[in-house]
Structure 1
C-alpha cells in the first residue's frame, strides 16, 4: 500500500526539486576566481619567463602548478584602455575608450555605464571584490561599487604614492600639497578608500593591498567569490622598503639598455614585494581549504616601462605597439584541469579571462556581449586548436586611425598610413620590416583590419587640457582634493611638477 496521496507526492517532489536547485547547492560546483594584475611589469621580469635578477618564487610556483602562456596579449599598450578592455570583457574601441584618464574628477573621463565582468559574475551568484588600482573614473556611476564590485578597497586614480603622504621619507613634500596640483599628483595622492570611506594606513602600499585581499577572502570564503587584486606595483613612482631594496645590490642587477642600476634595484624590490603579497594571498587560499576550487589568473596590464623593465627579446615597451608593449606574462592555475607546468604557445588575450571565467561561473559570454573566447579546452589540453586565428587592436586616439593585427605568425602595424609587417615566428624581436617585400599580404591584412575597425566608436573624451582639479565627493573630505562647489568640481590651470 502507498502511504502518500498523489497530491502529497507531488508536493514532496516539488520541495525536493527546489532544494536540489537552490542557489547555494548549485554554486558549490562553481570555482572561486581570482585575477591578479600587475602594473607595467616587464615580459621577462618574472623568473618563469627567464628573469635572472629578480626573485619571484610565488609567481613561479603558480606557473609550475598551472599553465604559462608565451603569447598572451592585452588590448592596448597603456594601462587605462587595457584595463577598460579587461574589466568589461570587450574591445575598448567599441565603446570609445582610447586614452588614460588624466583628469579623474572629470565625469566625462572613464568607463561609461556598461556591464563589467564583476557585474556579470554578480548575476551568477558570486560575491565580487576589488582591491587596488581602479583608473576608470571617479564619478558616482564609475565608482567600483556601481560597476559590479560588492566590495572595493583601493584608490580610484591611475597610481598612488606607496606610503601615506606624511611618511618621513617624503620629508614634508606632500604635507601640505601645493594647489593647484600637477595632474600626476591629482592621481597619485588620492585617498585610499574602502567602498566610500577613507582608510587610515601606515605600511607600504603593496602590503596594504595584499592584506585587503586576504581580508576579503576571510570574509567571503563560504560563498563563491571573484577577487580582482589590482596591484599598482611596479608602476612608478619607484619606492620600496629599504630592507627589500637591500636584497638587490646595484652591482648585481641585470644590465638593460636605458635602465640605470639604481632604478632596476628599486624596481626589483617592488616586484619582490608584489610576489611576497601573492604568496601571502595564495597561502590564505590554502589555509581556508579553497585551493582545489579556486582558479587563479596572473598577468600584467601592459608591457614594462622603458626606464625600469626588461622586455627582451621583445621589441618596445609600454606605450608602443611592438610586442614589448602588448605581449605580457600570463599564467592560470586551474586545479585538476590545467596541466601543471605546461607552456601554451598559441596567442590568447586578456579578454579571454573574462569569457572563460563567466563560463566557469555558469554564464554565457556571447549573450553577455563579451569579445573574448572560452579557452578552457585549450588550457586543459582537451583541444590543441588555436583559440584565435587573428587578433585585432585599435590604438588610434587622434584623427588618423592606427592599429595592429596579428594573423598567424604575421603582425601588421598601421599608423598614419605607414605600415610595418613582421613574421613573429622568424623575427620575434621585430627587426625586419617585410612590408615592402610582401605588399599583397599588407594589402589583404590592412583591408581586414579596416573592416574590423569600422565598428569602433568615437572617443568618449578628448584632450581636456588637464585642468579639472577638485571634486566634492564625500569620500574626498579631509583630502587636498576636496572642494565644495555647486556642480561638484572646479577648474584650475595645471601647474608644473614640483621637481
Structure 2
C-alpha cells in the first residue's frame, strides 16, 4: 500500500514546530534533575523479535535510532517478556504480577486449535485486567505524574479507567485491522487523519504533543505501538528499498522490514523531541517488545520458535534502558530480567509505599547502578493451547501447536519445560545450547528434580491452576 509521504512529512514538521515554539516562549527552562522527578517513556513494540534490530545482530533491518538508544543506555541481552503473546505479557507488565494472579493467559479463548487435538481441557482465560488491580499508571499518578498511553492497550475497553489521564488509540483491540496502518483507521479512541497517514507516525505525533504539553511536570508516557503486529503493511517507498536489498537467511521480508524501519524512525523522533525540549537528561527511556516475533515472518535464529512458544524465540526480547545518571551508557548486562521487574523498579524510583501490592519481579535499581543481584528463578505458566501459525516454520514441540499446556522455569543457565498433557519434561543449558535442541533430562536427573521442585513450589505459592481433566472430544488418531 502506498502512503502519502507529504502528509506524514507535514505532520512531523508540525509536531516539531510546536515543540520549537514552546521552547521560544519557555526558553526551555528546566529544573535540575535533582529538583524534579524523572519522566518515564516506555516504548513497547508489538511482536518485535529478539534479532530484529541491528544492535541485536540483524544484517537486514535498518535501525539507526534504536541502535543509538542502545549506545546511550544499558542493553540487556537476556531480557524476557512475562508471556509469549500480547495480552498476557502486557498484563504482566502493567500489573507487575505473573499470569496466575491475573488469569490472562492468551488472547480470546484458551481452547485454540482443533478440539480433537487437545488432550485436556485448558484453564479458562480472562480477557480483561480488572480495574481492581493496581496498575503501573495508577502508581505513577499517586506520585503526581501525568500519564498517557498512545497505541495498543489490549487489556480492556479504555485504559483511562486504569490510571491513564490520556488515551489515544487504546482499547480491547489487539491489532489495527485490515489496511489499519493507514488512515482512515479502524482503532478506537483515534480520529482519522489525512488519507494515507501512517498509524505509527500518528501515534508519535500525539506522544510528542503530550510531551510538549507536560514538559513542566513529571509524566509517564506509555507508547505501545501497534507495529509490527500483523497485518504486515509498510510504506511503499521503504518496501521498494528493501526489495533491492540483499536478504539474510530467515530475514528477507521487505514489507516487514519497512514496518521495522518506520518504528525506528519514530523512536528517533521521540529522542529528538526530548532533546529539543531539554528533557533528555531527566527522562528514562525504555525500549522493548511485548513478546517474540512470528518466526514465519522473521527468524530469530539461533533462538528456537517464536511468538506463542515458550522456547526462547517466543519470550526473549530486546531490551534497552536509558536512565541518565543511573545506568551507564553503552553497557551491556547478561543478567536475566523480565517485564515483571519494571513495576518494583518504578516503585523504588518513586518511593511509593504499596505494602499490600503483590509483585512478582525485583527492582532493577541495583543492577542499573552496577551491582549484580544473586540468581533468582523466572517462571512462566500457560495452562492453555495456542494453535500453530506455520507447521513448517514454527519450530515448536509439535507441528499442531505453538504452545500446549505447561510451565517453564529458568534459573541461571538452566531452563526446564514441563507439559501437563503427558507429563513430559525438557531440560536445557542455555549457555551451551541457546537453541534448546539437546534435552538433558536423562543426563542431569538431579538438576531436573531441583527445578521441578522449585516450579511446583512456585505454582502452589501463586495458586496456579494445573488442568488435568480429559477432553472428551480428543481424538489422537486424525
Question: What is the TM-score of this pair, normalised by structure 1?
Answer: 0.75
Instruction: Give the structure 2 partner of residue 301 of structure 1.
Output: 290
Instruction: Give the structure 1 partner of residue 266 of structure 2.
Output: 277
The correspondence for 2:432, drawn from 426, 433, 444, is 426
Query: 1:166 deviation in Å?
Result: 8.9
> Any idea what SS the aligned residue of 1:247 has?
helix
Is residue 297–residue 331 contact of structure 1 (8 Å, CA) maintained in 2?
Answer: yes
Distance 2:431 2:180 in 1: 47
Is residue 33–residue 282 contact of structure 2 (8 Å, CA) maintained in 1?
Answer: no
Distance 1:28 1:130 in 2: 26
Is residue 181–residue 200 contact of structure 2 (8 Å, CA) maintained in 1?
Answer: no
Query: Per-residue displacement from partner, 1:157-184 (whole Å, max 9, x unpaired)?
Result: 000048559969xxxxxxxxxxxxxxxx
> Any idea what SS the aligned residue of 1:338 has?
coil
Is residue 383–residue 465 contact of structure 2 (8 Å, CA) maintained in 1?
Answer: no
Is residue 95–residue 134 contact of structure 2 (8 Å, CA) maintained in 1?
Answer: yes
Query: 1:72 deviation in Å?
Result: 0.4
Taking structure 1 as reference, are residues 251 and 281 closer, same or farther at Cα in structure 2, changes over 3 Å only? closer
Higher alpha-carbon deviation: 242-251 or 289-298: 242-251
> Any idea what SS the aligned residue of 2:433 has?
coil
Taking structure 1 as reference, are residues 368 and 108 closer, same or farther at Cα in structure 2, changes over 3 Å only? closer
Is residue 27–residue 125 contact of structure 1 (8 Å, CA) maintained in 2?
Answer: no
1:73 counterpart = 2:80: yes
Matched ranges for 1:232-243 at <5 A? 232-243=226-237
1:146 counterpart = 2:164: no
Instruction: Give the structure 2 partner of residue 486 of structure 1.
Output: none
Distance 1:272 1:27 in 2: 36
The correspondence for 1:110, drawn from 117, 128, 132, is 128
1:82 counterpart = 2:82: no
1:411 counterpart = 2:407: no
Taking structure 1 as reference, are residues 164 and 303 closer, same or farther at Cα in structure 2, changes over 3 Å only? closer
Instruction: Give the structure 2 partner of residue 219 of structure 1.
Output: 213
Query: 1:368 deviation in Å?
Result: 3.0
Taking structure 1 as reference, are residues 457 and 239 closer, same or farther at Cα in structure 2, changes over 3 Å only? same
Instruction: Give the structure 2 partner of residue 497 of structure 1.
Output: none
Distance 1:367 1:244 in 2: 50
Is residue 45–residue 51 contact of structure 1 (8 Å, CA) maintained in 2?
Answer: yes
The correspondence for 1:443, drawn from 443, 449, 472, is 449
Is residue 43–residue 310 contact of structure 1 (8 Å, CA) maintained in 2?
Answer: no
Instruction: Give the structure 2 partner of residue 3 of structure 1.
Output: none
1:248 counterpart = 2:236: no
Is residue 359–residue 365 contact of structure 1 (8 Å, CA) maintained in 2?
Answer: no
> Any idea what SS the aligned residue of 1:304 has?
coil
Query: 1:225 deviation in Å?
Result: 0.4
1:374 counterpart = 2:363: yes
Distance 1:88 1:222 in 2: 28
Distance 1:115 1:155 in 2: 18
Taking structure 1 as reference, are residues 145 and 353 closer, same or farther at Cα in structure 2, changes over 3 Å only? same
Query: Per-residue displacement from partner, 1:427-455 (whole Å, max 9, x unpaired)?
Result: 11111000122222212211211121122
Is residue 96–residue 457 contact of structure 1 (8 Å, CA) maintained in 2?
Answer: no
Query: 1:366 deviation in Å?
Result: 5.5
Distance 1:348 1:53 in 2: 27
Distance 2:109 2:193 in 1: 25
Query: 1:98 deviation in Å?
Result: 1.2
1:132 counterpart = 2:151: yes
Instruction: Give the structure 2 partner of residue 41 of structure 1.
Output: 48
Query: 1:57 deviation in Å?
Result: 0.8
Query: 1:92 deviation in Å?
Result: 2.2
Rg comparison, structure with higher value: 1
Query: 1:108 deviation in Å?
Result: 6.5
The correspondence for 1:453, drawn from 459, 473, 476, is 459
Matched ranges for 1:8-407 at <5 A? 28-101=35-108, 109-113=127-131, 114-138=133-157, 143-156=158-171, 157-161=173-177, 163=179, 190-194=186-190, 198-200=191-193, 202=195, 203-249=197-243, 252-256=246-250, 261=252, 264-364=253-353, 367-381=356-370, 383-386=371-374, 388-397=375-384, 402-407=406-411
Is residue 192–residue 199 contact of structure 1 (8 Å, CA) maintained in 2?
Answer: no
Distance 2:405 2:232 in 1: 34
Cα RMSD over matched residues?
2.5
> Any idea what SS the aligned residue of 2:89 has?
helix
> Any idea what SS the aligned residue of 2:59 has?
coil
Taking structure 1 as reference, are residues 164 and 68 closer, same or farther at Cα in structure 2, changes over 3 Å only? closer
Question: What is the TM-score of this pair, normalised by structure 2?
Answer: 0.78
